[in-house]
Structure 1
Amino acid sequence: MRTFRALLILAGMAAAPLHAQAVVDRPHTRVELIAESSAPAAGQRLTIGFLLTPKAGWHTYWKNPGDAGAPTRVAWQLPEGVAEPAALSYPIPDRLVISGLMNYVYAHPNVLLTEVMPPAETPRGRPFVIKARLDWLVCSEEQCVPESADLTLPLAIGNGATDAEDGYRIALARAALPKPVDWAAHWAATGGRFVLSVPFANPNKVTAAYFYPEVDGAIDYAAPQAVTIAGEALRLETAAREPKGGIAGVLRIERADIDHPIGFALTASPGAVPAAGTPLGPVEPVAAVAAAPELAVILLGAILGGVILNVMPCVFPILSLKALHLARGNVPAAEARRDALAYAAGVIVMCMALGGLVLGLRSAGSLVGWAFQLQDPRVITALLLLVTGIALNFAGTFEITLSSGSLGSGVTARGGAVGSFATGLLAAFIATPCTGPFMAGALGAALALPESAAFAVFAGLGLGLALPFLAVGFIPALRRRLPKPGAWMVRLRALLSLPMFLTALALAWVLGRQAGVEGMTMGLAGVLALGLLLWWVGARQRGGGGSAWVPAGGALAAA
């Protein structure tokens, strides 16, 4: 009973930060919903904004995040009769290169603006409550974390007077937006080069310029943009991808007579562009960041990252029991090598399959990265149930059996090449929630490489993950150093269930962050139903009573 109460308290602690309010602190970001007026006038537009403040060393993303990342998304819950707001307006972003990937980011406080309009017939004094769920990706140079917040801003219809504090913050945010212009900008692409021409008054005062395209696929983000003055126009040239049609974007300008950058939102159409003129010099990525590493270095990082994954709590138990299985019954050397190769093949195939899915989705226009599936609560729920099942198997609650009988050590002891291959697939899939040194940079760089090189990096990650088991399978001296089978293996197997249960707890926490209290409750209900079902299976395997199906069936029906 005490354990059950402790679990309830722990679940409540995990759910507490999800309470809806106007200001929410997340592990890496503080977000606030603000309005220009706390007493908006009926029938008049009200500017509202999301103020995101990333913690030191972290950043959020522009509407087009560049080579990696994801834009901020919002789902509204507005009073009756209020139209859906327009898309969020973003301030001018900064540039950040990590492992050869160009990111369009905000490493400092930034406000995303939009407008709502209370219905004209709304009487004064009536509550006007704005609710929104905000989802964003926040990253450091080592990892990315999806965060979200349910925000509620209670207002009341009034005279529309501007608030002193929030009105000032909204005014500053509005001034930071790029200015819409209808300049006759043109672009042309030839020989793998993209050239943009923008008419600009007094171009000689410009000290630096950079073009941020709003749509993906027009330019190579990480390539320098060479800027020249061609008459009364600015000419920017960079490496092209596949530009087409009108290309909207933001031209960021720095001038000697202005102490801050200014931005212009424009749309360039295909057309004639002038020849290069007087150079301003190429605009390089952030100076403090090194150039893209060579493929060999990226591969080495992927392999090292894969090796380190083996000590993570989501992988180590599976690897340990699989390796100790080779110590059973003096496994012949040929069989040990066969199992090691099959296990490695399963790991590499899963890593390449997940990597191929990422590349395919990115080529189709989706802005996703490695482990993108973990941003879907349904995938988190499936992983939660899978990890819970593995943990219960390790704990001895039930055994995985085939027609030939019990497999003893469950998921890690499936015999033959097919069983080892399946265990490799499982280990690689279970490893997706984990990350470690070298891995993030290598996988991020892979997304900017040609497909063949990217697949090599994903295969390198799989090779690193499989290396310890390959070493055990191919080096007899290592197998001889493994402890001999005995009753201690049963105790070790039960002990190794602990990191799997901790992994399940972490996944439940992530599910709560993504899907709220209701989503986490449903996931934990599924865990309870699965646990009771597997307990019943184990009881039947051990010759338990036939009535054992009653609580399991009831739990499944309730779930």
Structure 2
Amino acid sequence: MRLTILFLLMTLSTFAFSADESVPAKPVKFGIQSFKKDSDEYLALNFENHQKWHTYWKNPGDAGLAIKNVFTVNGKEVKFEEMEWPAPRRFIEPGNLWAYGYEDSYSLFFKLSKSDFNKYSGKSIQLKSTWLVCKHICVPGQQITDFKIAPGNVTTTTADLLPNLNSTVLSERFDVLPKTAVIPDYLKIKLSKGSKPGTLVLTYTVDKTTEVNFLQNTNLMYTFPQIPFDVKHENLMVEKESLKGVTEIAWDGEYQDPPQPLPADGKFKKPYTLRFLFNDPIQRKAFIVDKKFSNFELSEVTVAQKAEGAPPIDMGGTASSAGSARVIVDASTSSNSLIYYLALAFVGGLILNIMPCVLPVISIKLFGLVKYKNESHKMILKHNFFYTLGILFTFAVLATVVLSLKSIGSQVGWGFQLQSPTFVAIMVIALFIFALNLFGMFEFKTPGGSKLGGMQLNEGLTGDFLSGVLATVLSTPCSAPFLGTALTFAFSSPPMEIYLIFLMIGLGLAFPFILTAIYPALVSFIPKPGNWMNTVKKLLGVTLILTAIWLLDVYNALVDGSSHLIKLGTILVFIFVGFMLSKKKERWIAGASFLAALGLFVNIATTTMVVSTEPQTALIRDKQAKGLDWQPWSEKAMDDLKASGQPVFIDFTAKWCFTCKVNEKLVLDTDTFKSFVTENNVKLLIGDWTKRDEIIGSFLRKNGMVGVPAYFVQKKNGTLVNLGETVTIERIKEHLN
């Protein structure tokens, strides 16, 4: 049946072909290389599809042919251990045909054992890869590659292959391959008799979640090919506090030899084990799960086309593009749309105003409001507009940097810039200079000569813009309620949605000052300008000095206490001396002091640091000193504890993360938490993300987080539960027990 549909699809797509829908010379490009992960070696087959063309997964859907790879040596087929394929996407083809497969770039992996190297090292191996690639027309393709293997190396004489990918990109692709797991306790799978003759209905329910945005362009559950089950389209519903998938299955037993009619008593002659790829919306990653069916329930189930009072939501499926399942939402539940995440981003940005990272800069801005209190409404609007502009500009720059780093395969998360020693050094210097300005050691001047510290318009707007920039940069070490969910959505979304989420966070951060611009009376409780402002100005300078000291501690952690820290401290001394001498009109000596500071900064920015790779970082040693046995996190440590059946609590943190410190003070460093850990023999793992770490970044991303703090529990049976960026002892107990 599928081959018939495939023939019709290829025939009709040929007639649909038009001059403006050209076929690229090479719709699929192919490459082959070696890849090492931990102590194991793999063969990586890399595919790169032309834009908007897709190939097919093991279960291609209503039509299509799965990618096939055949290895031969001297004309005889040989086998290598194949890893699970990446989780597929869903595409809607003409005629509402559902297809499951891949767009853009992806890799398939084969494990090379010592036995493989012993047998085939130095021998010529031929790989024949075949595929069907479709867009407006379907084109069969193949690549024949001759290659040789040796430990750590693959050589080939075949021309026009893709260049080798860097190990970071391959490692990221390998890490997100679906792993086989036991069916979690929140997933229920059932097989029942269908209301149509010769059909079954597969029903699966995920409790305690209504998250459907994780399932954009994909199914909640894919079924691996299994004769005689012909699996149809998934219908996804949100019912109260659960997700429910309902899929019709046509029984093809009548077409077998000998025929196998659907048993009337609901008992199969032999058990069938169905294999599923489960896109877990709770852990936000894909798993392979198996379930054995010896029978099916005889109570008939109808595949719902709609739910009463809850019309289907169109999630954007179009012909020959990524589509989405029919989602039926219970009338009492709302879908998490883009508008929902924009609202979360706005509220999260608003809450950032009271987070400790941003308070020094917010205080300076409030000080500015007092200074401009007696100006016209129009002038106050201008000041707050430029502050808002500084915030939105910086968030747009951050979004652009995120997209640029993603495009080259780097893992990035919230606060990523504070993992750069050079960036942190710049922030320390900038805050120190701002503090000296508040202490009255100097005044900035614009090219026109007006003073930045005075009341003139040019200074005010420039200062407001820079305050917005500084507030944005200092906000990133903090995570706020609602912000983590919005950022997780953003970091896994197309470019436009990333920009929208980031700008909405910026609007939330700027919103109090937008309000005071429209309604200046909101700050009427603040005293009128007077001598008291000089005292407050110096106090604000102290807050910036304290912030700079905190960043010096972060810098120390990034450079492992190397000579770079001493050099940065010396730069601050030279800057202080330079401004002090300038105030005394010693301009030549002051200039020499500033040049010395600049030279030292160039030195630390361009000199390679020897960074320690020791797993026991200073942060982890500090945690251990507080009385609990925290151990460095790794996926191997998780697997070892899973094998021994021990409950685990995992804390991903960073030296620069303010929210992490608050959570530690309120929860993780308390006697109650220590008692709970001791009494229940809970093992503690900590991931230090102070420095850029691709392994931690990849783990966080595939488990639905894009920054720290991030907390997880691993139950005794190995089930991993994401607790998000806030944690309580009650929630830990609930999930571990």
TM-score, normalised relative to structure 1: 0.51
Answering whether residue 351 of structure 2 is matched by residue 308 of structure 1, we say: yes
Q: 1:193 to 1:463 in 2, by over 3 A?
A: farther
Mark the structure with the bigger radius of gyration: 2
Q: Deviations over 1:194-250 (max 9, x none)?
A: 412699xxxxxxxxx99464xxxx855xx89xxxxxxxxxxx985633246756655
Deviation at 1:364, TM superposition (A): 3.3
In structure 1, the gaps of 5 or more residues are: 1-85, 90-112, 115-176, 200-208, 225-235, 257-272
CA contact (8 A) 2:577 2:593 kept: no
Q: 1:516 aligns with which of 560, 572, 591?
A: 560
Residue 529 (structure 1) aligned with residue 571 (structure 2): yes
2:511 is the alignment partner of 1:467 = yes
1:108-507 aligned at under 5 Å gives the runs 113-114=38-39, 194-196=56-58, 211=84, 213=86, 219=88, 238=100, 240-243=102-105, 252-253=179-180, 278=229, 280=274, 282-286=276-280, 288=282, 293-328=336-371, 330-402=374-446, 403-408=448-453, 415-507=459-551
Cα distance in 2 for residues equivalent to 1:456 and 1:335 = 29
1:210/1:252 contact within 8 Å kept:
no
Residue-by-residue CA offset, 1:414-460 (whole Å, 9 max, x unaligned): 63545433432333234333333322321121022222222110110
Return the alpha-carbon distance in structure 2 between the equivalents of residues 353 and 276 of structure 1: 53
> Structure 1's 362 and 546: CA in aligned 2 closer, same or farther, altered over 3 A?
closer
The answer (yes or no) to whether the contact 2:35–2:44 under 8 Å persists in 1 is: no
Separation in 2, partners of 1:479, 1:532: 39
Using a 3 Å threshold, how does the CA distance of structure 1 residues 243 and 237 change in structure 2: closer, same or farther? farther
CA distance in 2 between partners of 1:361 and 1:457 (Å):
17
Amino acid paired to 2:572: L
Q: Distance in 1 between matches of 2:596 and 2:105?
A: 58
Report if the CA contact (8 A) 2:490-2:497 is conserved.
yes
Q: 1:366 to 1:491 in 2, by over 3 A?
A: same
Give the SS at the match of 2:179.
strand
Cα drift, residue 496 of structure 1: 1.9
- Is contact 2:345-2:508 (8 Å) kept? yes
In structure 2, distance between residues paired with 1:373 and 1:438: 21
Q: Is the 8 A contact 1:351 1:458 kept in 2?
A: yes
Residues of 2 paired with 1:500 and 1:239: CA distance? Answer: 53
- Confirm whether residue 540 of structure 1 aligns to residue 467 of structure 2: no
Specify whether residues 552 and 182 from structure 1 end up closer, same or farther in structure 2 by C-alpha distance, changes over 3 A only.
closer
Partner Cα separation in structure 2 for residue 553 and residue 547 of structure 1: 10
- Bigger mean CA deviation after superposition, 421-430 or 542-551: 542-551
How do 1:60-139 residues align onto structure 2 when only pairs under 5 Å count? 89=37, 113-114=38-39
Q: State the Cα distance separating 1:333 from its structure 2 match.
A: 0.1
What percent identity do the matched residue pairs reach?
26
Could you list the per-position Cα deviations for residues 485-531 of structure 1 after superposition, in whole angstroms to 9, with x for gaps in the alignment? 1222121122123332232223222222222221xx42443243234
Q: Aligned pair in 2 of structure 1 residues 364, 463: CA closer, same or farther (>3 Å)?
A: same
* Deviation of the 1:347 alpha carbon: 0.8
C-alpha separation between the residues in 2 aligned to 1:245 and 1:290?
Answer: 21
- Following superposition, the deviation at residue 462 of structure 1 comes to 0.8
SS at 1:496 equivalent: helix
Does the CA-based 8 Å contact 1:340-1:474 persist in structure 2? Answer: no
* Letter of the 1:301 counterpart: L
CA RMSD of aligned residues (A): 4.5
Kindly state the Cα deviation for residue 471 of structure 1 after the two structures are TM-superposed.
Answer: 1.6
Q: What is the CA–CA distance in structure 2 between the aligned matches of 1:293 and 1:486, rounded to whole Å?
A: 50
Higher RCO structure (Cα 8 Å, ≥6 apart):
1
- Which amino acid is 2:549 matched to? L
TM superposition score normalised by structure 2: 0.40
The structural deviation recorded for 1:316 is 2.2
SS for the counterpart of 1:327 is helix
Indicate conservation of the 8 Å contact 1:536/1:549, yes or no: yes
Distance 1:480-1:526 versus aligned 2 partners, 3 A rule:
same
CA deviation vs aligned residue, 1:93-133 (integer Å, no higher than 9, x gap) = xxxxxxxxxxxxxxxxxxxx43xxxxxxxxxxxxxxxxxxx
Q: Within 5 A, what are the aligned runs for 1:49-68?
A: none
Shift of 1:379: 1.7
Sort the Cα spacing of 1:253 and 1:537 in 2 relative to 1 into closer, same or farther, 3 A: closer
Distance between the aligned counterparts of 1:379 and 1:211, measured in 2?
A: 40
